[in-house]
Structures are given as C-alpha cells and as structure tokens.
C-alpha cells in the first residue's frame, strides 16, 4: 500500500513538472533573480537555487557549472545572461536557452560574474543535488561515480536528500552505499560515523578501503611533548622505526633544531670563498677528498664565517629531547578506533581473497602450461622423442585460428572451426615430420633434438615471411570477453576459465585414448617393447606416426587457446618450449598425470614467487627455473616417477 | 670364515614388489675361483650389481677386505678403485678407441682428472700394456680400433682390461657366451690363471664351462643360495636337480 | 710406443699454419698496417668469427668428445663479454666524467666521481647507485679474472648439481637450456644492475687508447683473437688426444662402463664442462669489444643452440670440424642476413635472402643431421684416412 502511494506521488510530481518546464525558460528564471545571480552572496544564492529547482528546467547543471567556473557573463545593455568564453580579444556567447552561438567584439559591453569561494561551494552542493536527481539514469550514475572518486563533506546532504526520490533500485543501492561511506567520513555525529564504519567492515572494495585509509590518514609529527587533544596513532622510536639521520631531519623540518651542514652546503661555502686559487688558506687543488673539504670548512667555522657542523652528541641530545609520533588527522579517537577495527577485519578477508585470487591465477597458469606441455609429454614422454619444434606447432595452431578468423567473421563460429582445423593442420605437420625426419633418428635422441630445432627455426622464419613480424590478433567471442568478478579482489577472466576447462577436457581425452582405446594399448605396447609389439601384429611405424601426430595436434589446439589470451607472433612458440620441457621433466617423463603434477607445481610456484615480488615477473621466472634445477636434484625422475627396472637408467 | 675377502650377508632387493635377491649370504676368500650358477631370474646379475654398487639393496651387509669396509656407502668408481673388477655379459669395450687405449685406460693408475691429464704417479705403462696384451693374445692388434675386433677378441680385451685394473676380486658375467670351443678353452685358461693370485667369481649358464673351471660352485635360486660345494656334489643335490637341472 | 703430441695431432700443425697464413694475409690487407683493401668492419667480422670458432671448439670438446650436449656455453661466452664490458664501460665513463668535472670550481672527490659515473651508466635504468656486482669494475685485472672465474664457477656449481644427480642425455641438455634461460632473464632485469635490455655499449672504445684509430684497435683485437684461437686449439688438442681424451670419449660412449673401471665420471664431466666454460668466457671477452655492444638477447637459449648447430654442421668429435662449422655458418649468416646476397627472382616470387636464409639454414641443418651426421669434417675423413679422426 505504501509502495503504491509512493509511486502515485512520484507520478504526480513528474506530471507536475512537465508543463511548467514549457512555461518558463532558464533566462526568464534568472531575470527574475537577476540581482542575486549577478552579485551572488551566500545568503542570496539559496533563493536562486530554490527558484531553479522549482522550475525543473533542463540544462540547469550545465548552467550551474558555468556560473561556478566564472563563465557566466551579463550583457550591460539589457541585463541578459550568457555563457561566454573569451577568444581573440572578444567573446563567444552561447545563448542559455537555445544554445545558439554569437560573437561580441567588445568585452567591455559585458560583465563577468565572479562568485566567491563560499558561493561556489554552495553552487557545487546544489549541482550535486541536481545531478543526483537528474531524470537521466546514466547521469545520476555518473554523478555518483564522481562522488565516489572524490568524496567531499558537502556532498553528504544532497546525497541523502536524493535518496528518497530515487526510483531505480540499482541507483538506490548505490546511493545508499555511498551515503554510508560519506557518513563514515563526514557525519557530524561520531556515533553515526562509528555505526557506518562498522557497516563497512564487510566490504572488500577498493572504494571502502580508500575511505578507511582516509579516515586513518595520519601525519608524522614531532614535539617536545605530545600536545593535548591530539589523536595519536603511534609513538615512534628513533633508531628503530627510522634512523637517526631521518629523525634529526624531521626536527630540522619542524624548526626544532638547527639545520645540519650537508656536503652540498660545504661545497657551496667553499666555492663562494675561493680567492686566488685557495680557500680558507688551503689550495683548491688539494680539496679533492671529502676529508680535505671538511677540514677547510672547519677553518671557516673557526673564523665564524659559516654555521658549524652538528656533532653527533648534539644530534642525539636534540632527538632525545623530543617525542616523535604519528597523529591521526581525524580528531575523534573512537572513530579512528572503529576504523582500525574495520580495517583489520577487511585485511583478514583481503588476505583470504588474495590467496583465492592467487590460487585462481596459478590454476589458470597451470592449465596453460598443461595444455602447452601435454602434447610434448606424449611425444617426449611416451616416445622418448625430443621435439624442439613443439613450440612452433603451438604457433601454427594459433596462426590457423587467425587465418580462420580472416574468413569467418563470426568469432564463436570461427573458434569452433579453428579448434579442429588447428588439430588437423598440426596433426598433419607432425605426421609429416615424423615420417620425414624423426623416424630415422629414433636411437639418437640428441640428434633428434637438433634436427627438430632445425625445423623449428625454419618454421619460425617461414611464419615471419608469411605473416610478418607484427603480432596478429586472435579475437575471442564476446561471451568469453569479460571476467568473472567475485569481488574487487577475486576475479578471473572467462577466457582463462575456458582454458582451464579445455585443459580438463584434454586430460580426460588423453587418459581415455591412452588407457581405454586400442590405439592407447598399442602405443603402450610399442613404448615398452617395440620388437614384441611388432611380432604381435602391431605396426610400430604406424603407431609412432599416430602418436606423434596426436601430440602435435594437441599442440595446435593449445595454440588456439594460448592465442586467444596472448598475442600471436612467430616467436610465441619459443616462449613456451622451455617451460613445457620443464613441466614434463619435473612431472616425470612418460606419464600424463606427471605432466599435470608438473604443470600444477610450476604454475603455483611461479605465481607464489610473483606474489613475493609482484612487480618483477622476470625475476619470478628466473627463480622458478632455479627452483626446477634444484628440484631435479632431489627427484631426478620427476614427481610421478616410474620405479624399478622399467625406469631404465 | 675368517679372512674372507668379500662377505655378503642377509641381502634383499625388491623391484616393484618382486624380490630379485632374498636374504642372500655368500663369502669368498683370496685367492679363490668360484662359479655362480642358477636359472634365469635367479638373481645372478643383480648380485653383481649389488657388489659393484650399481644397485643399492633394501637390507643386508656387503663387507670388503681385511678391514671389513662396507661397500654399500661407496660409489661404483670407489668400489672399482678398491679392487673389484667387473666384466659384463655383453662385451663392452670402447669400440671407437684402439686396443691400447682401452688397456691404458684400465691400467691401475691414479684415476683423478688431473692425475690423468698430467700423468701423475704413472708407472711404466708400456711394459704393463705389453704384458697384458701378451696374456690375452692381442699384442698384434694393439693399434687396431677395437670395434674391428671379433666377438671373442672383444671378450678377451675386456678380460685384459679387468686384469689391467689389477683387482683383488673379479666378477665375470657369462664369459663364454657366443664363443667357439677354442676360444672357450683360452678363456678358461685365462680365468684359472687369474684365480691363482686373486678371487674370481664367474657367473655362468653353461655347465660344461663350469665343469672345466673345476672349482667351488654356488647355486642361486629365486635370489638366495640353494646349494654350495664342488660341482659333482651340487649336481647330486635333489633341490638343485629339481629347479635347475631337472628343467 | 706412445707417440709424441704432434704425431698424435697432425691437424694441430696444419691448423696453426693455416691460422698464421690467414692472420698474415688479413694484416696485409688491413687498413691500419697494410694495403687497405679490407674495410675495418669486415676485419672486425673476421676477428669476431675467430672468437666464435674458439667457443665452437670448446663446445666440440664438451659435446663431440665428452657427449654433453650443453645448451649453455653461449651463455658463458656472454658472461665473459659482460665481465670485460663492465670494465670497458666503467673506465671509459670515468674518463668522460673526469673531463667534464675538470672544469668544476673544486677538484672532484672520489665520491663525486663515482656518483657521476653511476648516473652516466645506470641512468637508462633509472638508477645511479653502483650495484654490488660492479664492485671490481674499476680494476681491469679483476674483471679479466672474472672473465674466466665467473663462467668457471657457474659451470662448476651447475655441473656439480647436474652431474651429481646423474642427469644425462637430453635431460641434461634441457637442464642446461633452463640454466641459460634463467641467466638471460636475470640479465634482462633492470634491477640486477646490468642495465637490463640496454646491455653494455660503446665497448669498441678502449679506455686509454682514445688516440688510436679503430682500424688499428680492430687489427690488435684480430691478432688477439687469432692468438687465443691458436692457444685454445693447442690446449684442447692436448686435452683430448691423451689419456684424458681417451677417458672422456669413453664416457661419451658408455658412461657406466667407465665408472666400473674406477673412474669418477662426474669429476671428469665437471672438469671438461668447467674448462670449456672458461674458454668460452675468454672467447666472449674478445668478441664483444669487437662487436661494441652486448645485451641479454645475445645469451638467449637460442644462441647456444646455434652454437651446437655450427659444431654439428662442421663435424663434431674433430676440433677442426668445429672451426669449419662456426666460420662457415656464421660468415654465411652475416652475408645472407646482411642484405648483400643477391635476391633470386623466380618470376612469380622474389626470394629475399634476408627472409629465407634461416629457412634454408634450418632445413640444411636437418639434412646434415639426417644424411651427414659427421658433418663437413666427415667429408675430410672420406678424402684422407685421417689418423686424428678419433671420434667414431
């Protein structure tokens, strides 16, 4: 029933507004209050604002901005107001109602209206109110965002005033949220602030964290004794919280102690007194050490020409005679205490959130490594073949996706075509490579490594010749574009989630092929004993070819996946090859589960190291590799090791 | 037995749940010639792997020399330097190198990289090389690349390399495999002569060859000692007949 | 009987003879002392090629003879370059700074000089402090020691870890590649104090020799490179032809068997790995002053693989094979990628060598691996039955 009444009231007010808007123009309202507009004072401006508010006109916020920013001019002849800008010695006038522009050559025919600072504040507050009640939803939201970016005390009242009339539930929630934040910051009643602060403590958003640190902002201070009424955040001990030199520098800054003589001061003093190649009786040429300069300066001190050095004892005494402390800018201790509590509560949840976010990041990195490495695990692990061109197969897959998108503009469809096509292309490339090169080198693993490296440089250059050195885009469909935002801390892009699931699907698929199909059985037979397998009617050539094709095909699909979130370049393969090998080696050769374990470990370790030093991903990679080298010391056969005679030597 | 050179006691090795060696105990004196026989999978090769340090046992002791040093804490190269030489089933000489190079490498000399580089502490190697090549009958072939030797010659070269090491204990794995009767005879002579001054353990399949060695025999079965004694004595043992001869 | 060193290594005399003739011919053609028929930049290319030959010989010893396919020796080469580059850069900047401070009213103190040099050198990475690894950069002697000791120590520690855990074959290769990647990433960072991806530059200007022309300095470096290559060749020939060579080739062919002969295989591998790393460092220290600039891209993993490619094409297990491979491939690379090779017009498509050289090199390399595993050196063996052909 109440809701209905509200709705009716709202409709009525809208209905009331519409006709009156036609009746009045902005200029006419202003002319009604011409005196107050032209010579605004804090007392009189309220009346103008009330009139503008009552008139419910369009363009009022823009007018208020111009007024505030001293862009409003009055024509002396007829008293009409214009928004005007000075240009080429004249004025460009804009009509308030029609927006029509005209030019006036002589600025003396007009007077600029200059509201003082107090008036401008009042206008500002009104402006906020106008925007907050603007009929356009987006403008209301924009106004709220502006408040959130730069909260100020005088926004609180307009914000509160605008809550009642708010019809849109999203905007209403946002207004209430901001109202809480502003209350926490600015309400006159400490109790209200504390309540608001406590209500904020469950919120992890950057906004709220900003509000709290604003309340808790503190300044460094020093005094002979802490003055009464200061809300002390912490008392600091020189030598522990900061070094003695800093402590003394603070005393100097606070004019509580004489300034120290810096090397630059010494130099300046000496240079100023150079006469005939010497200063203070010392030849300039000998002043090529700090000690010599100090000695010369002391001579000047003795002559009373320059201020003396501060001795360590003097410094100690000066520091000991003062208290160093941090004082909250917020005077009310209860408010800061409540904010401290809220901040601590948020910090705990923040740490948990960051841990969750890190885990998600690590999982996503691990799935990328898994995708990049699992094809290698098949060729390297199962067949014992080192394929240095594996990275280039990843690249081929990514370029396949790029080429498909050139022909198929629909991104969803193009990805669906690109995935199997990339598999087919790299499967073919893998089979060709196995037939032409690798099968001649099965018992010379080091030479396989080198030959495939030759193929890798040839393919890389070929890609450069065809596609150029520029990075090519592989655009993901819209439904994969966003990010899954759990809160301001924990979020993950959909594309990474998709890669995670792709990795899971491949894990299942490969396990299925190797464990449950005829092909897998034959692969395992050939791996363990090619001679025996051949005598049982398995064609090892065919199996090797298919296995190699499978491993390469998976690299192609990994290429599409990687291309979707990273750039497609001819060198993208080499970015992944070393990590992929390490994934396989760390995980344990010859085992898909091992690759999974290796990818997980490398992904998590790398993210873990990045967490300690987030600014430096290069360092994280360096330490990661060192970690892998050390890890192999302790588990030379990887995490999931084959034991016994089967492991070989 | 007091004064034994090698004492293996209670040794057990498991591969993936399979007990290759099961509570094996064995002693050998110096000098002594011993043949170790047994069917496939009896653990003969694994036994050698343990003594030479290639495989570490799950439990048991392997003691060496007068001071009863444990071999289990030593690396392969340390064990070899302590005086245990091993000849593999397949001849593994370094085929890219000459017979001389192979023998010189095996000669008992300081083994460190710098010793080798600056030939520190080396004694009259040429004479020793001659002595050994005469012994194995390869003096004519000294400067031949050993990859070009016949199968039997490779076997002898490998025995020659073992002799060059001057070990106190020689482990020889199936030395007669793939040899002509004449070559076998030569091999038997080599081993019997070697055993006059040192301990020699011969692992062999071929009964005839073992009979010609004319020495104490240890029969292994499923990783432990089934019987021990003269060949005639052992071959009358019912257990041995069941598992080995009666197949 | 045991034969003398030269009798065992006939190639040493031939090689030294060829190197001497080459050096004399280049000197005669040079701008500084000779007829001026050869440009200084080409002289530098030849000098650099000699350094590449030296590191290739080292690679051949560690791979062709000892069987360790190290994908890290070019990183050691780069470290040598960095070590000498640090002194070159420091000393030269010091000269510039002293000149500019000479006009200041007070004579500069050591602290002022150091801080000015720091600003000059590290300004590009937004720093002016001297990082700890530059502590000895003012001393030529210490930096020259570092040329040998840093790669040596790194190889020693890495090799000890790797060989101790019996990592062999392709696993070892991948591990060395990981080490190289870690090193290059380390050098790439701005805050490790080696100027990040700017690297060290201006290395062709030798402090104290400002009055000597580049033509002369280049010739001096060419001589030094030739001398280093000659000495390195003799050193390695001596190393691989004696009993030590016999042992390391045996390790290459059957590591386990060598162990049962009583040799501490890990010790030998470590020795060879470390000595070759040190020689690689020396080669790098001679190369980069001729190149003028070094940056982390130089020591990326791919560079070390190229090194293996040269040795494989030249023929591993023969020292001269490594030299043929390195000289041939690196000179051809700079000719083809330098743009001086004529394009081939096929009518429908113009083959630009700058684009297609790497494709050709890659495929050639595959072909060599498949059809000529002994490389170009193997062709020599077919022509003359070479008693030195110790490999296989």
Instruction: State chain C's maximal CA–CA distance in angstroms.
Output: 77
pTM for this one?
A: 0.81
Sign for the pseudo-dihedral over CA of C42, C43, C45, C49 = positive
Structure-block tokens of residue C293: 């600039």
How many Å is the Cα radius of gyration of chain A? 37
* Average pLDDT over every residue of A135-145: 81
Phi/psi zone of residue A597: left (φ > 0), alpha (ψ -120 to 50 degrees), beta? alpha
Chain B: nearest CA to A583, how far in angstroms? 26
Mean predicted confidence (pLDDT) in A543-558: 90
Residue A79, both tokens? 């008293």
Q: What percentage of chain A has pLDDT greater than the value 70?
A: 94
**Rounded to the nearest 10 degrees, what angle do helices A411-436 and A390-407 cross at?**
140
Domain count, chain B: 1
- C392 contacts B80? CB cut-off 8 A: no
Q: How far apart are CA A469 and CA A474, in angstroms?
A: 15
Q: Which two tokens stand for residue A394?
A: 């990843």
Instruction: Write out the two tokens for B94.
Output: 């370094």
Task: Encode pLDDT of B45-76 as tens digits.
Answer: 888 888 888 888 888 888 888 888 888 888 88
Q: What is the mean pLDDT of residues A517-540?
A: 80
Write out pLDDT tens, residues A232-256.
888 888 888 888 888 888 888 888 8
C-beta atoms of A454 and C366 within 8 A: yes
Give the highest mean pLDDT range of A625-639, B11-25, C313-327, C377-391.
C313-327
DSSP type of residue B210: H
Q: Average pLDDT in the C9-16 region?
A: 87
| Adjacency order of strands within the sheet including B59-64 | B18-28, B6-15, B59-64, B69-70
Smallest Cα distance from A524 to chain C, Å: 22
Average confidence (pLDDT) over A152-168: 81
Task: Mark A441-459 as b/e (b = at least 16 C-beta within 10 Å).
Answer: beeebbbbbbbbbbbbbbb
Structure confidence at residue A403 (pLDDT): 93
Q: How far is C267 from chain B (nearest CA, A)?
A: 7
A452, closest residue in chain C (CA to CA): C366
Calpha distance A193→A198 (Å, rounded): 9
Mean pLDDT lowest for which of A375-389, A554-568, B93-107, C29-43? A375-389
Residue C61 has pLDDT above 90, yes or no: yes
pLDDT at B196 over 70: yes
B182, part of any domain: yes
Which chain C residues are closer than 8 Å to A630 by Cβ?
161
Residue at B31 is within a domain? yes
Neighbours of chain C (3+ CB pairs under 8 A): A, B
Across the interface, do A451 and C181 touch by the CB < 8 Å criterion? no
Cβ atoms within 10 Å of A55's Cβ, excluding its own: 18
What's the rounded Cα separation, in Å, for the pair A398 and A567? 9
Which residues from chain A sit within 8 angstroms of residue C109, using beta carbons?
Answer: 288-290, 293
Beta strand segments in A466-567, E:
483-485, 491-493
Judged by CB atoms closer than 8 Å, whether chains meet at C263 and B94 is answered as no
Largest CA distance in chain B: 59
A556: left (phi over 0), alpha (psi -120 to 50) or beta: alpha
CA dihedral sign of residues A479, A482, A484, A487: negative
Domain for residue B1, yes or no? no
Listed ranges A396-400, B22-26, B164-168; the one with the highest mean pLDDT: A396-400
Q: Tell me: cis bond preceding B31? Omega within 30 of 0 counts.
A: yes
Pairing relation of β-strands A72-75 and A110-112?
antiparallel
Q: Rounded to a whole number, what is the distance in Å from the CA of B17 to chain A's nearest CA?
A: 9
Q: Is-contact B204 B48, C-beta < 8 A? A: no
Would you say residue A382 has pLDDT above 80?
no
Domain with residue B74: its CATH number is: 3.40.50.300
Query: Assign residue A58 a region: left if phi > 0, alpha if psi is -120 to 50, beta otherwise?
Result: beta
CA distance A467 to A426: 17
Chain A: residue whose CA lies nearest to C365: A454
Q: Using 50, 70 and 90 to split pLDDT, how confident is the model at B231?
A: confident
**Contacts of residue B16 in chain A, CB cutoff 8 Å?**
643-646
Three-state secondary structure of C361-378: HHHHHHHHHHHCCCHHHH
> Under a CB-based contact definition with an 8 Å cutoff, are residues B35 and B218 in contact?
yes
* Residues in chain A, overall count: 649
Which residue bears the tokens 């005939």? A276
* Residue A96 clears pLDDT 60, i.e. is over it: yes
pLDDT of residue B246: 53
Question: Is the distance from CB of B8 to CB of B59 less than 8 angstroms?
Answer: no
Instruction: Enumerate the β-bridge partners of residue A283.
Output: A278
Q: How far apart are CA A562 and CA C138, in angstroms?
A: 47
Tell me whether strands B84-87 and B169-173 are parallel, antiparallel or unpaired.
parallel
Confidence check: pLDDT of A138 > 70:
yes
Neighbours of chain B (3+ CB pairs under 8 A): A, C
Q: How far is CA A436 from CA A441, A452, A530, B204, C152, in A?
A: 10, 11, 20, 45, 40
The domain containing residue B228 runs over which residues? 6-245
| A285/C107 touch (CB, cutoff 8 Å), yes or no | yes
State whether C301 and A578 contact (CB < 8 Å).
yes
Backbone phi and psi for residue B228, each to the nearest 5 degrees, phi listed first: -150, 140
CA distance B219 to B39: 9
Residues of chain B neighbouring C239 (CB-CB closer than 8 A): 117
Torsion of CA A186, A189, A194, A195, to 10 degrees: -100
pLDDT of the residue at A553: 93
Contacting A residues, span 578-607, partner chain C, CB-CB under 8 Å:
578, 581-582, 585
Residue-range domain boundaries for chain C = 5-383
**At a CB cut-off of 8 Å and minimum separation 6, what does C231 contact?**
none
Q: Which of B81, B86, B105 sits opposite C247 (nearest CB)?
A: B105
How much is the average pLDDT of A150-179?
82
Pick from C322, C311, C75, C57: nearest CA to C183: C75
Average pLDDT, chain C: 88
- Chain B residues in contact with C242 by the CB 8 A cut-off are 116-117, 119
CB–CB contact B165 C246 (8 Å): no
Per-residue b or e along C365-385, where b marks 16 or more CB atoms closer than 10 Å to that residue's CB: bbebbeeebbbbbbebbeeee
Q: Looking at the complex, does the CB of residue C235 fall below 8 Å from at least one CB of chain B?
A: no
B189's CB contacts (< 8 A; 6+ apart) are none
Q: Residue C386: what pLDDT?
A: 47
Tell me what ipTM this predicted complex has.
0.85
Helix (H, G, I), strand (E, B), or coil: what is residue A51?
A: helix
B81 neighbourhood in chain C, CB within 8 Å: 262
Residue B121 is predicted with a pLDDT of: 66
Q: Is A644 on the interface with B (CB under 8 A)?
A: yes
Other CB atoms within a 10 A radius of the CB of residue C338 amount to 12
Please give the interface size between A and C, counted as residue pairs whose CB atoms are below 8 Å apart. Answer: 153
pLDDT at A386 over 60: yes
The band of B86, judged by pLDDT with boundaries at 50, 70 and 90, is confident
Confidence band for C83, pLDDT divided at 50, 70 and 90: very high
Longest dimension (CA), chain A: 112
Quick check: A380 and A386 in contact, CB under 8 A? yes
Question: What's the gap between Cα C103 and its chain centre?
Answer: 42
The pLDDT tens digits of the residues spanning B152-186 come to 888 888 888 888 888 889 888 888 777 788 888 88
Reported confidence tier of residue A594, pLDDT bands at 50, 70, 90: confident
The pLDDT tens digits of the residues spanning C49-59 come to 999 999 999 99
- In sequence order, the 6+-apart residues with CB closer than 8 A to the CB of A101 are A92, A93, A94, A95
């Amino acid at each position: 029933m109440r809701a209905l009444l509200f709705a009716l009231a709202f409709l009525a007010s809208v209905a009331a507004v519409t006709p009156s808007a036609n009746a009045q123009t902005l200029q006419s309202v202003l002319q009604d209050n011409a005196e107050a507009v032209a010579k605004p004072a804090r007392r009189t401006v309220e009346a103008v604002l009330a009139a503008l508010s009552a008139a419910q006109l369009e363009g009022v916020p823009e007018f208020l901005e111009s007024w505030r920013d001293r862009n409003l001019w009055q024509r002396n002849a007829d008293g009409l107001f214009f928004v005007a800008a000075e240009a080429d010695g004249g004025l460009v006038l804009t009509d308030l109602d029609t927006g029509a522009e005209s030019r006036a050559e002589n600025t003396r025919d007009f007077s600029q209206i200059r509201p003082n600072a107090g008036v401008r504040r009042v206008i500002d507050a009104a402006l906020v109110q106008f925007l907050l009640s603007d009929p356009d939803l987006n403008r209301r939201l924009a106004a709220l965002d502006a408040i959130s970016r730069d909260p100020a005390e005088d926004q609180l009242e307009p914000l509160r005033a605008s809550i009642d009339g708010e019809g849109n539930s999203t905007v209403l929630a946002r207004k209430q949220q901001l109202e809480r934040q502003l209350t926490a910051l600015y309400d006159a009643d400490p109790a209200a602030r504390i309540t608001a602060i406590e209500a904020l403590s469950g919120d992890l958003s950057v906004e709220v964290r900003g509000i709290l640190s604003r309340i808790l902002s503190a300044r460094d201070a020093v005094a002979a004794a802490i003055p009464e009424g200061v809300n002390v955040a912490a008392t600091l001990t020189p030598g522990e919280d900061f070094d003695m030199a800093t402590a003394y520098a603070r005393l100097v800054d606070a004019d509580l102690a004489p300034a120290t003589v810096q090397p630059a001061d010494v130099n300046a003093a000496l240079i100023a007194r150079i006469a005939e190649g010497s200063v203070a009786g010392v030849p300039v040429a000998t002043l090529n050490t700090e000690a010599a300069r100090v000695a010369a300066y002391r001579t000047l001190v003795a002559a009373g020409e320059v201020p003396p050095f501060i001795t360590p004892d003097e410094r100690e005494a000066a520091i000991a005679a003062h208290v160093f402390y941090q004082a909250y800018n917020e005077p009310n201790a209860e408010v800061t205490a409540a904010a401290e509590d809220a901040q601590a509560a948020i910090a705990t949840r923040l740490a948990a959130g960051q841990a969750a976010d890190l885990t998600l990041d690590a999982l996503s990195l691990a799935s990328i490594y898994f995708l990049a490495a699992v094809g290698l695990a098949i060729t390297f692990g199962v067949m014992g073949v080192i394929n240095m061109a594996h990275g280039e197969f990843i690249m081929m897959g990514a370029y396949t996706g790029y080429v498909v998108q050139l022909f198929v503009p629909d991104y969803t469809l193009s990805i669906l075509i690109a995935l199997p096509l990339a598999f087919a292309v790299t499967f073919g490339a893998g089979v060709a490579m196995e037939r032409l090169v690798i099968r001649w080198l099965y018992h010379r693993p080091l030479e396989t490594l080198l030959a495939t490296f030759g193929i890798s440089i040839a393919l890389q250059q070929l890609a450069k010749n065809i596609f150029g050195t520029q990075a090519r885009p592989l655009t993901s469909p819209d439904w994969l574009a966003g990010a899954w935002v759990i809160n301001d801390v924990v979020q993950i892009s959909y594309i990474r989630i998709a890669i995670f699931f792709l990795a899971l699907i491949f894990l299942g698929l490969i396990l299925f092929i190797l464990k449950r199909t005829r092909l897998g059985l034959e692969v395992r037979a050939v791996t363990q004993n090619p001679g025996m397998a051949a005598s049982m009617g398995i064609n090892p050539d065919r199996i090797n070819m298919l296995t190699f094709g499978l491993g390469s095909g998976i690299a192609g699909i990994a290429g599409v996946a990687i291309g979707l979130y990273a750039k497609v370049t001819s060198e993208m393969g080499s970015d992944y090859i070393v990590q992929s090998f390490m994934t396989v080696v760390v995980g344990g050769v010859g085992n898909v589960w091992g690759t999974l374990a290796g990818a997980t470990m490398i992904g998590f370790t790398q993210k873990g190291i990045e967490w300690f030093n987030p600014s430096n991903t290069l360092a994280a990679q360096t330490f990661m590799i060192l970690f892998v080298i050390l890890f192999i010391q302790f588990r030379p056969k990887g995490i999931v090791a084959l034991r016994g005679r089967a492991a070989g030597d | 037995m007091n004064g034994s050179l090698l004492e293996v006691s209670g040794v057990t090795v498991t591969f993936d749940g399979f007990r290759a060696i099961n509570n094996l105990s064995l002693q050998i004196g110096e000098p002594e010639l011993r043949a170790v026989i047994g069917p496939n999978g009896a653990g003969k090769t694994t036994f050698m792997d343990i003594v030479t340090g290639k495989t570490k046992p799950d439990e048991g002791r392997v003691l060496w020399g007068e001071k009863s040093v444990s071999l289990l804490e030593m690396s392969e190269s340390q064990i070899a330097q302590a005086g245990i030489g091993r000849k593999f089933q397949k001849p593994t000489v370094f085929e890219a190198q000459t017979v001389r190079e192979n023998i010189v490498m095996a000669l008992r000399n300081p083994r460190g990289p710098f010793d080798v580089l600056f030939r520190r502490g080396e004694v009259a190697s040429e004479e020793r090389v001659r002595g050994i090549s005469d012994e194995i009958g390869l003096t004519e072939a000294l400067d031949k690349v050993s990859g070009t030797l016949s199968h039997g010659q490779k076997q002898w070269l490998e025995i020659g390399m073992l002799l060059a090491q001057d070990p106190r204990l020689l482990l020889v794995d199936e030395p007669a495999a793939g040899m002509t009767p004449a070559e076998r005879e030569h091999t038997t002579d080599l081993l019997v002569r070697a055993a006059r001054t040192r301990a020699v353990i011969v692992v062999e399949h071929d009964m005839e060859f073992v009979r010609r060695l004319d020495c104490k025999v240890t029969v292994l079965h499923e990783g432990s000692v089934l019987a021990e004694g003269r060949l005639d004595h052992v071959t009358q043992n019912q257990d041995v007949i069941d598992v080995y001869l009666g197949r | 009987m045991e034969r003398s060193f030269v009798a065992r290594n006939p190639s040493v005399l031939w090689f030294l003879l060829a190197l001497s003739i080459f050096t004399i011919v280049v000197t005669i053609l040079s701008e500084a002392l000779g007829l001026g028929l050869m440009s200084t930049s080409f002289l530098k290319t030849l000098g650099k090629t000699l350094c590449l030959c030296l590191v290739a010989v080292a690679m051949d010893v560690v791979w062709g003879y000892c069987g360790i396919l190290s994908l890290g020796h070019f990183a050691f080469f780069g470290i040598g370059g960095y070590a000498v580059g640090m002194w070159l850069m420091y000393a030269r900047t010091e000269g510039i700074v002293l000149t500019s401070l000479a006009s200041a009213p007070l004579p500069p103190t050591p602290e002022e000089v150091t801080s000015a040099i720091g600003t000059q050198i590290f300004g590009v990475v937004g720093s002016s402090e001297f990082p700890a690894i530059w502590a000895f950069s003012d001393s030529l002697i210490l930096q020259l020691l570092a040329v040998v000791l840093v790669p040596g120590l790194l190889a020693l520690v890495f090799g000890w870890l790797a060989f101790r855990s019996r990592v062999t074959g392709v696993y070892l290769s991948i591990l060395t590649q990981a080490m190289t990647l870690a090193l290059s990433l380390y050098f790439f960072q701005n805050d490790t104090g080696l100027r990040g991806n700017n690297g060290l530059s201006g290395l062709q200007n030798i402090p104290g020799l400002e009055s000597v022309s580049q033509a002369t300095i280049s010739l001096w470096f060419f001589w030094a490179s030739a001398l280093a290559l000659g000495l390195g060749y003799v050193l390695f020939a001596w190393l691989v032809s004696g009993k030590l060579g016999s042992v390391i080739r045996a390790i290459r062919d059957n590591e386990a068997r060598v162990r049962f002969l009583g040799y501490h295989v890990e010790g030998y591998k470590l020795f060879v790995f470390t000595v070759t790393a040190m020689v690689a460092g020396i080669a790098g220290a001679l190369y980069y002053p001729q190149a003028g600039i070094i940056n982390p891209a130089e020591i990326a993993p791919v560079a070390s693989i190229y090194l293996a490619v040269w040795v494989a094409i030249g023929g591993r297990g023969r020292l001269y094979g490594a030299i043929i491979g390195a000289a041939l491939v690196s000179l051809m690379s700079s000719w083809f990628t330098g743009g001086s090779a004529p394009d081939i017009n096929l009518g429908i498509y113009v083959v630009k060598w700058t684009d297609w050289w790497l494709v050709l090199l890659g495929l050639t390399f595959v072909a060599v691996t498949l059809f000529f595993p002994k490389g170009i050196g193997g062709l020599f063996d077919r022509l003359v039955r070479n008693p030195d052909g110790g490999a296989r």
